[in-house]
Amino acid sequence: MAVKITYFVHGTTTDNESDIATGWNQGQLSDTGKHQAVDLGKQVANKHFDTVFCSDLKRALESAYLGFGDKYEIIPDDRLRECDYGELNGTSATSFKDNLKEYIGKPFPGGECYDDVELRMRHFIEFLKTDYDGKHIAIVAHQAPQLALDVILRGKSWEQAIDEDWRRHHAWQPGWKYEVK
């Protein structure tokens, strides 16, 4: 059997609109982000999920509740958090977002690296294999956990996942599909 995953990103935040890298800060959905979350729920209303997981950071929690809370139980999980940018949490995204490959194996100052996010996501995937085999789950989270899924489940290198990230090409869509076999 397998676990089917549909991955959703949280709505736009006030930090996103100000070019701030939120990282492990809670962040606040903007009015646009709130509308996006509600609209996303409507766009995928015909799909069924056995469970909805989300990051425990406020922006992902609020997105999950606005999009899916009237239909599903929402389960927060800290393994789905964004990368901890350490001293760079809450700073200008342009100061480092073009150099993400620099932090694949080297931690952000006072934070973690992308290999750390991959390890968290590997633990989460093992949990899914054990407890959700044969199920279809939704995840509402952030950039780094999604890139980690590309590495773990699609066999991409971190460099490739970063280069091909839909955010770089402004190619948002209402959910990305993954499968854990």
- 8 Å CB contact between 148 and 119: no
Residue located via tokens 């995928």: 44
pLDDT per residue as tens digits for the range 105-144: 999 999 999 999 999 999 999 999 999 999 999 999 999 9
**Percent share of the chain, pLDDT over 70:** 100
pLDDT per residue as tens digits for the range 36-67: 999 999 999 999 999 999 999 999 999 999 99
Please state which CATH class domain 3-180 belongs to: alpha beta
The pLDDT score that the predictor gives to residue 98 is 87
Mean pLDDT across 157-164: 97
- 8 Å CB contact between 37 and 4: no
Domain ranges of the chain: 3-180
Instruction: Work out the pLDDT band at 170, boundaries 50, 70, 90.
Output: confident
The pLDDT score that the predictor gives to residue 95 is 86
Q: How far is CA 102 from CA 13, 98, 115, in A?
A: 25, 9, 12
